[in-house]
């Protein structure tokens, strides 16, 4: 992977915003992940060059954070909350249904911690777009709407992908 | 008694649901008037007079007086940084997400006021990575504010310059802890730092730094506009003003409600325009008053009638108002299951730096799992307390004593201590598994 010329320009602008270049690791990793659909070793090497650190330092930082997927995850990341408010309002049932329904290369279903959507529990995100007040059937219908192109997903890091 | 909302920082959100987050919507409802007032009254009048008089205390969890925090900055040491903690991740807390997504200009105005007061020219907002929409709206709002001259060089002719960098996290609850947040902002793994030095002395890039929560900062425009003394008339005793409470779980109307501090939990849960009562008119079995890290309270009258007052709750009931999240569980809920899921959260989110937390949260989670799923052994409960005592010595007084750098480890003790306090018999009755499993507490 290499940043596209347009993204490379954005990446350099991001680095320039910080007093120290290393601070740009997280934003650049988001940018790379939105571009490629995952955070590849090649991307981390390029981020290292841009932030003037060793590639191992980029890996060391990025491997700490759950949003960075260091293997390809497909087009849709479906994050289902099962923390306590969702636990008592049906979150685990949504997760179980989706995990059983989607066992493919296009849809990646994961269990996540509290998404700060407890007022609409149970909740999930699809590529970091919130969907609340779910039943297992509704959750599946939402994923299907993304698959059919009726809902336009963000990038797998939650950014807008042009 | 029926209580209604007192909308100060959520007023624009409710008055202009169609455009509260846009520059036009914000300007049409008084945005940046507080900033003009701040420039007019001058730097020293903000922190030392208005904010101090307001009695404002941090809304992120610890409740530390904001003016005092600012006063710790060493004189004559520059540059200084302001970092807004927008890494909202405390389970059941969802107020900051609303304040960011739906009123980003109020936050930017508050940042400009705070930055002017503490002489900072570069501020950061560390926003939780999962808040994609919030990030987008905040970036948009920063661009709009720059275009209108509320940010940038020589703001409104004041001679004061300020730029704001909005920085996305990437999924780590620990980064809500202020020193872990600073590590993360520097491009490192989000692991807490040993204090001292405190951030006010050596924070971001080892420079003097103030870290304030989104809600705290969002309150500043109103304090400046109303005057600190006027603001302090809201609330009760040392818990002045309003707070946005995130109410969730088994209530009829879950959501964010801004009320004056000092109303009771019963008011919050049962008032028709607030919680509206318990789902299906069942009874409250227990509730968690201040986010997942807090100890629990029950449906007893003395708990429901306790005021939302930070000092009262700490001194009389040993719980904290924390992040202002209230999670309600009715009589159908198994408290051991809730305790297990909270322990799983802390085990998942432990950064791994301190052994008692890294190992202890995992053990607590495993033991609670088997108890909650009917396979606990009679001696398991006491083993749990023993493990907790290694994380937070003096279990029932937790989370103040701790063997870890930050309070994440001791937070796992809260659900266990709460089970011990209120549900020991119920939990022991679930521990009917064989006592011969070869695992020993001693």
Query: Is the CB of residue A51 less than 8 Å from the CB of residue A22?
Result: yes
Q: What is the pLDDT of residue B400?
A: 64
The residue with greater pLDDT, B137 or B319, is B137
Please give the average per-residue pLDDT across B90-101, as a whole number.
96
pLDDT for A112 equals 97
Beta carbons of B184 and A26 less than 8 Å apart: yes
Mean model confidence pLDDT for chain B: 94
pLDDT for res B441: 45
Interchain contact, B97 vs A116, CB within 8 Å: yes
Residue B57: what pLDDT? Answer: 96
- Interface-testing mutation among B130, B165, B168, B294, with chain A (most A C-beta atoms within 10 A): B130
Q: Which residues of chain A have pLDDT under 50?
A: none
Q: Give pLDDT, residue B66.
A: 97
When CB atoms are compared, the residue of A68, A120, A125 closest to B130 is: A125
What residues does B351 pair with on adjacent strands? Answer: none
Backbone angles phi, psi at A152, to 5 degrees: -95, 120
* 3-class DSSP state of B113: helix
Token pair listed for B69: 């925090």
End-to-end Cα, chain A, rounded Å:
18
Stretch B370-388: mean pLDDT: 91
Q: Which one, of B433, B427, B428, lies nearest residue B334 by Cα?
A: B427
Place of tokens 């685990």: A92
Q: Give the closest-approach CA distance of B170 to chain A in angstroms.
A: 5
Q: How many residues does chain A have?
A: 162
- Residue A60: list chain B partners with CB under 8 A: 189
pLDDT at site B442: 42
Choose the closest CB to A116 out of B88, B169, B254: B88
What whole-number percentage of chain B has pLDDT above 90?
A: 90
| Interface list for A 69-128 with B (CB within 8 A) | 79, 82-85, 87-89, 112-121, 125, 127-128
Please judge whether B130 and A84 are an interchain contact, meaning their C-beta atoms are less than 8 angstroms apart.
Answer: no
What does the domain layout of chain A look like in residue ranges?
5-64, 76-161
ipTM, 2 dp: 0.97
Q: Is the peptide bond before B105 cis (omega within 30 degrees of 0)?
A: no
Identify all chain B residues contacting A114, using CB atoms and an 8 Å cutoff: 89-93, 292, 345
Residues 6+ apart with CB under 8 A from A139: A80, A94, A97, A98, A124, A131
* C-beta of residue B103 within 8 angstroms of C-beta of residue B14: no
Q: Does A33 lie at the interface with B, CB-CB under 8 angstroms?
A: no
Q: DSSP assignment, residue B204?
A: G
Architecture of the CATH domain A5-64: Orthogonal Bundle (1.10)
Q: How far is A9 from chain B, CA to nearest CA, in Å?
A: 18
Q: In Å, how far is B115's CA from the nearest CA of chain A?
A: 17
Strand B239-240 relative to strand B235-236, pairing: antiparallel
DSSP letter at B156? G
Structure confidence by residue, pLDDT tens digits, B230-261 = 999 999 999 999 999 999 999 999 999 999 99
Joined tokens for residue B87: 């890494």
Q: Which of B94, B167, B184 sits opposite A116 (nearest CB)?
A: B94
For A122, which residue in chain B has the nearest alpha carbon?
B249
- Grade residue B401 by pLDDT with cuts at 50, 70 and 90: confident
The CA-based diameter of chain B, rounded to the nearest angstrom, is 77
Q: Tokens 């209604």 belong to which residue?
A: B4
Average pLDDT of span B170-185: 97
pLDDT value of residue A161: 76
For an interface test with A, give the residue of B10, B79, B85, B91 to mutate (most A CBs within 10 A): B91
Please list the helix, strand and coil fractions of chain B in percent, rounded to the nearest 5, in that order.
Answer: 45, 15, 40
How many contacts does A have with B, using Cβ atoms within 8 A? 148
Question: Edge-to-edge strand order for the sheet containing A124-126?
Answer: A107-112, A76-81, A124-126, A129-131
pLDDT value of residue B440 = 47
Which residues lie closer than 8 Å to B237 by C-beta, 6 or more apart?
B262, B309, B311, B312
Q: Mean pLDDT throughout B343-361?
A: 96
What is the reported pLDDT for B223? 97
Residues of A in contact with B329 (CB under 8 A): 88
For residue B399, pLDDT beyond 60 = no
Fold of domain A76-161: Glutaredoxin (3.40.30)
CB contact under 8 A, A67 and B129: yes
Please say if the pLDDT value at position B138 is more than 60: yes
Contact criterion met (CB below 8 Å) for B195 and B213? no
Distances (CA, A) of B237 to B72, B261, B343, B402: 24, 9, 34, 29
Residue B41 exposed, middle or buried by CB count within 10 Å (0-12, 13-18, 19+): middle
Residue B398 has pLDDT above 70, yes or no: no
Residue B439 has pLDDT above 60, yes or no: no
Q: How far is CA B304 from CA B270, B284, B308, B329, in A?
A: 10, 9, 10, 13
CB nearest to B170's CB, from A17, A24, A67: A67
For residue B258, give both structure tokens.
């801004």
Task: Say if CB B82 and CB B96 are below 8 A apart.
Answer: no
A59 touches B at CB < 8 Å: no
| CB-CB neighbors (< 8 A) of A51 in chain B | 187
């Amino acid at each position: 992977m290499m940043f596209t010329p347009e993204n490379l320009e954005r990446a350099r602008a991001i680095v320039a915003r910080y007093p120290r270049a290393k601070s740009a690791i997280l934003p650049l990793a988001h940018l790379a992940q939105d571009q490629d659909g995952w955070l590849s070793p090649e991307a981390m090497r390029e981020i290292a060059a841009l932030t003037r650190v060793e590639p191992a330092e980029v890996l060391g930082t990025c491997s700490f954070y759950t949003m960075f997927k260091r293997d390809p995850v497909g087009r849709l990341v479906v994050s289902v909350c099962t923390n306590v408010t969702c636990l008592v309002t049906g979150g685990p049932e949504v997760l179980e249904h989706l995990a059983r329904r989607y066992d493919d290369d296009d849809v990646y279903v994961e269990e996540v911690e509290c998404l700060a959507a407890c007022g609409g529990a149970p909740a999930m995100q699809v590529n970091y777009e919130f969907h609340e007040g779910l039943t297992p059937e509704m959750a599946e219908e939402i994923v299907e709407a993304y698959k059919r192109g009726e809902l336009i997903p963000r990038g797998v890091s939650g950014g807008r992908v042009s | 008694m029926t209580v209604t909302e007192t909308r100060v920082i959520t007023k624009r959100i409710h008055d202009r649901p169609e455009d509260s987050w846009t520059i036009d919507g914000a300007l049409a409802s008084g945005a940046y008037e507080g900033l003009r007032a701040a420039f007019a009254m001058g730097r020293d009048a903000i922190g030392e007079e208005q904010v101090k008089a307001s009695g404002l205390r941090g809304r992120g969890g610890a409740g530390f007086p904001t003016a005092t925090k600012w006063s710790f900055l060493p004189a004559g040491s520059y540059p200084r940084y302001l970092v807004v903690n927008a890494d909202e991740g405390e389970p059941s807390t969802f107020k900051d997400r609303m304040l960011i997504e739906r009123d980003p200009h109020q936050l930017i105005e508050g940042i400009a006021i705070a930055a002017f007061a503490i002489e900072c020219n570069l501020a950061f907002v560390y926003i939780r990575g999962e808040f994609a929409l919030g990030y987008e709206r905040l970036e948009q709002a920063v661009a709009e504010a720059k275009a209108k001259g509320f940010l940038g060089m020589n703001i409104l002719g004041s001679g004061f310059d300020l730029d704001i960098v909005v920085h996305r996290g990437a999924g780590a609850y620990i980064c809500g802890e202020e020193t872990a947040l600073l590590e993360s902002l520097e491009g490192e793994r989000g692991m807490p730092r040993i204090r001292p030095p405190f951030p006010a002395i050596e924070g971001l890039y080892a420079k003097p730094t103030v870290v304030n929560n989104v809600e705290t900062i969002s309150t500043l425009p109103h304090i400046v506009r109303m005057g600190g003394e006027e603001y302090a008339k809201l609330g009760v005793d040392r818990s002045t003003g309003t707070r946005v409470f995130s109410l969730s779980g088994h209530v009829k109307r879950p959501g964010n409600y801004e009320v004056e501090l000092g109303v009771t939990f019963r008011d919050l849960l049962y008032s028709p325009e607030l919680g509206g009562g318990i789902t299906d008119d069942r009874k409250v079995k227990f509730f968690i008053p201040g986010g997942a890290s807090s100890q629990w309270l029950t449906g007893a009258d003395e708990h429901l009638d306790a005021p939302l007052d930070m000092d009262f709750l700490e001194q009389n009931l040993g719980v904290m108002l924390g992040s202002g999240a209230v999670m309600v569980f009715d009589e159908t809920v198994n408290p051991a299951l809730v305790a297990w899921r909270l322990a799983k959260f802390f085990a998942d989110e432990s950064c791994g730096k301190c052994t008692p937390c890294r190992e202890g949260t995992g053990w607590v989670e495993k033991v609670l799992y088997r108890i909650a799923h009917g396979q606990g052994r009679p001696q398991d409960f006491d083993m749990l307390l023993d493990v907790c005592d290694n994380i937070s010595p003096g279990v029932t007084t937790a989370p103040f004593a701790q063997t870890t750098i930050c309070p994440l480890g001791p937070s796992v003790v809260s659900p266990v201590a709460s089970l011990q306090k209120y549900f020991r018999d119920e939990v022991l009755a679930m521990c009917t598994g064989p006592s011969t499993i070869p695992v020993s507490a001693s």
